Structure 1
Amino acid sequence: MSNQPGSSTAAEPDQPDTDEPAAGTAPGTPAAPLAPLLALLASGWLAAMLWSTREAIQSAAAGVTAVSLSAFALPGVISAALVAGAALALAGAEPLTRRYGDRATLRFVGAIGVGMVVGLVTAIAINLTYADNATTNVIAGTTAAAAVIGGALAGARDGAVVGAVVAAALGALLFVVAFSRARDPLFDLFGGDGGTQEALVGAAKWVSRTESLLAGLVAGLLAFGYLTWASRRAQRRDPAAAAPRWPAYLFAGAGTGLLLLLAEVIIRVGGRSLLDLASALSEADAVAQTSLGTSRVDNGIWVLFVGALTTLVAFGRTLGPAPADDEE
């Protein structure tokens, strides 16, 4: 009989729990859409940076010129490796989350493993294609470390935020390359053709600030768009899923600047020997390395704050007025 004691309780464990998200993630942590595409784009960007650096070094005269060019190219390679490690680790961690559920330890270990593989493959590629010298070993080791650190960052629980940071960072890096065509006209616009040393320094500073401001704006808009799309996609699949709150948007918008500052730390720690060698070439090289390092730090700070402010403003515009309770 259906009314016997225990008959209803025996059937309850077989009933599926429809309140759990279909993707296996915890409520409020939407999955990262297009993670394989982000990994493909980041890998292509890393390969392009490695190839351009190799061509520049091999086309230069042996000795001091190659060392100087290696030091100038190191920041671009490190930032690309950091983003590629995070993107590929994210693409590897998302299937683990969907298959085994929201297990933070498993996700983190898987992301670290992917980052180590990316770093190892990148280091081997550099050692096989670059000239065999101390400079090559520094670039290979520092690039591998950046890829591993990027993989560790992708082990965070909220994959959508990591995906937003990766998408925003790729957009900002591509924007900087496209902005190079506008540097000379802006340099003249800001008074760089005045001929004096003060005018040249002031124009260069304003061009750099304009680039950082626009890059932060691009990063903030891309982070907001990606995170909003991921949230809506998750709510279509599971209407009970909670939308990300403003701290998630804040971190996603600031993520590109944080990656740039983290890349600078990796450069100054792992690439210290190469930077010191380039600075020892001449007094002008020492001044150039110091100026470039300061400029990279300033750029990271500007991108961080502008990106975070952009996402917060965009998120605030999506909020409507709080519903008022009707009094009887």
Structure 2
Amino acid sequence: MSKQPGSSTAAEPDQPEAAPEVSEQPAPVDEATATPGRPAYAPGAMVLALLAIGWLAAMLWSTRAAIDSAAAGVTAISLSAYALPGVITAALIAGAAVALAATNPLRRVTLRFLAAVGTGLLVGIAAAVAINLTYADNATTNTIAGTTAAAAIIGGAMAGARNARVVGALATAALAAQVFVVLFSRARDPLSDLFGAGETQQSILDAAKWVSRTESLLVGLIAGLLAFGYLTWARRRAARRSGSLSQQLRWPAYLVAGAGPGLLLLLTEVIIRIGGRDLLNLAAALSEADQVAQTSLGTSRVDNGIWVLFVGALTALVAFGRTLGPRAVADEPAEDEPAEELAA
């Protein structure tokens, strides 16, 4: 029976629907999930942790040797106050490095942070016990042990940050900067003579200021270059493993890593003025000269931290900027395209 136009006797057979077009472009590879069980992590964390622990042990040993060699208790108090900043900075680095090595395989942010704090606590307890067992039993020893433990815990908490590579770069640069400061101490006297230190007190102070500025500048340059070098190495290592550069770090990561050693120095000063306030006050109360010396040392440490922060951050950013190529320029539309669209 033929169908008349307009009739609705039977429906046309269903036609197969066209399959949706599938994009052939591969999805970007996420470095953190490309290989199950191998999240983005900070390379060389175990070696860094061993070096940081060794540096902390060396600082504690040298401080104990200096205190034990003091002929009188007054001298021991002054030496303890003088050596405390180096011990605290070493404890910050050790807590961060050991916690970074312990939490490297962890994915979840909350679990990583809790494990980092716990690891820093263990490092702080171990350092405090070592101090109490090897140092003389007095109030000075308790102050050093307490502030060292607190610094290690704070350093461990820093390692719980989301981006482990920045923490690794920060710890590496800070450790190298502290080693350089110890080595630079042998060049202080020759540099003082070079900068015109004479017999007058004013010339000695002016030369010491220039020596301090030179040290801060060199420490900042070393910190910035090492932070940039570590992040570059970590990026290339990750690219070889995942075959993708989609997770390349941006400039804020280099900025934080380069400024990190200076931030640690300023954080050290905060910890000292809170936890080690009694020791500093005791050392300043010994004499008027000691009071002036403690005030001058505190101001110098703050200035040094600020210089290292800005020089390190600037160095890392400049080094990162030199690796950037020219941006890809988008193709501009031809001049006759609007006319063709209107004609259509």
Which residue pairs with 1:49 in the alignment?
59
The answer for the alignment partner of 2:123 in structure 1 is 118
One-letter amino acid matched to 1:287: V
Q: Is the aligned partner of 1:144 residue 2:146?
A: no
Aligned to 2:196: 191
Work out whether 1:218 is the aligned partner of 2:222.
Answer: yes
Q: Distance in 2 between matches of 1:117 and 1:23?
A: 30
The 8 Å contact of residues 88 and 151 in structure 1, kept in 2 or not, is answered as yes
Deviation of 1:22 (Å): 2.2
Show structure 1 runs of 5+ residues with no match.
1-16
Residues 213-243 of structure 1 deviation map (CA, whole Å, 9 limit, x = unaligned): 0000000000000011101111211133410
Does the alignment pair 1:304 with 2:317?
Answer: no
Q: Write the distance in 2 (CA, Å) between the matches of 1:25 and 1:324.
A: 36
Q: Percent identity?
A: 72
Q: CA separation in 1, counterparts of 2:35 and 2:76?
A: 54
Does the aligned pair in 2 maintain the 1:23–1:31 contact within 8 Å? Answer: no
Equivalent residue number for residue 79 of structure 2: 69
Q: Which has the larger radius of gyration?
A: 2
The answer to whether residue 25 in structure 2 is matched with residue 21 in structure 1 is no
Aligned mates of 2:230, 2:217 — CA distance in 1: 20
**Please, which of 208, 212, 224 is the counterpart of residue 208 of structure 1?**
212
Match of 1:315 in 2: 320
Distance 1:270 1:311 in 2: 32
2:49 counterpart (29, 34, 39) = 39
Report the CA distance shift for 1:266/1:23 in structure 2 as closer, same or farther (over 3 A).
farther
Cα shift at 1:325: 3.2
1:234-293 C-alpha deviation (Å, 9 max, x unpaired): 121113341000000000000000000001100000000000000000000000000000
1:232 aligns with 2:236: yes
Q: Kindly provide the amino acid, as one letter, of the partner of residue 132 in structure 2.
A: N
Counterparts of 1:22 and 1:259, CA distance in 2: 34
State how far apart, in whole Å, the 2-side matches of 1:322 and 1:67 are: 59
Q: Which has the higher helix share?
A: 1
Q: Give the whole-Å Cα distance in 1 for the aligned partners of 2:29 and 2:290.
A: 64
Q: Aligned runs of 1:130-279 on 2, under 5 Å?
A: 130-193=135-198, 195-240=199-244, 241-279=246-284
Aligned residues: 303
Following TM superposition, the consecutive aligned residue runs of length 4 or more in structure 1 with deviations greater than 6 angstroms are: none
- Within 2, Cα distance between the matches of 1:204 and 1:171? 23
In 1, Cα distance between equivalents of 2:85 and 2:117: 22
- Residue identity opposite 2:228 in structure 1: F
The Cα shift of 1:21 comes to: 2.9
Q: CA deviation at 1:169?
A: 0.2
User: AA paired with 2:160?
Assistant: G
Q: Distance in 2 between matches of 1:23 and 1:175?
A: 40
In the alignment, the residues of structure 2 paired with residue 281 and residue 326 of structure 1 have an alpha-carbon distance, to the nearest angstrom, of: 74
1-structure distance, mates of 2:270, 2:138: 24
Cα distance in 1, alignment partners of residues 34 and 66 from structure 2: 50
Specify the SS of the correspondent of 1:192: coil
Secondary structure, counterpart of 1:50 in structure 2: helix
TM-score scaled to structure 2, two decimals? Answer: 0.86
Secondary structure of residue in 2 paired with 1:55: helix
> Aligned partners of 2:185 and 2:278: how far apart in 1?
29
Answer yes or no: is the 8 Å Cα contact 1:161–1:252 preserved in 2.
yes
The one-letter code sitting in structure 2 at the alignment partner of 1:196 is T
Amino acid at match of 2:225: L
Measured in 2, the distance between the counterparts of 1:65 and 1:183 equals 22
Partner of 1:59: 69
For residue 224 of structure 2, what is the amino acid of its counterpart? G
Q: Distance in 1 between matches of 2:130 and 2:331?
A: 67
How much has 1:324 moved relative to structure 2?
Answer: 2.3
**Deviation of the 1:305 alpha carbon:** 0.1
Whole-angstrom distance in 2 between the partners of 1:306 and 1:68: 31
* 1:88 aligned residue (77, 94, 98): 98
Structure 2 distance, partners of 1:41, 1:203, is 34
| Structure ranking higher on relative contact order (CA contacts 8 Å, 6+ apart) | 1
Q: Which whole-Å deviations, capped at 9, do the CAs of 1:75-123 have from their partners, x for residues lacking one?
A: 111010011000000000102x2xxx3x110000000000000000100
> 1:270 and 1:245, CA in 2 relative to 1: closer, same or farther beyond 3 A?
same
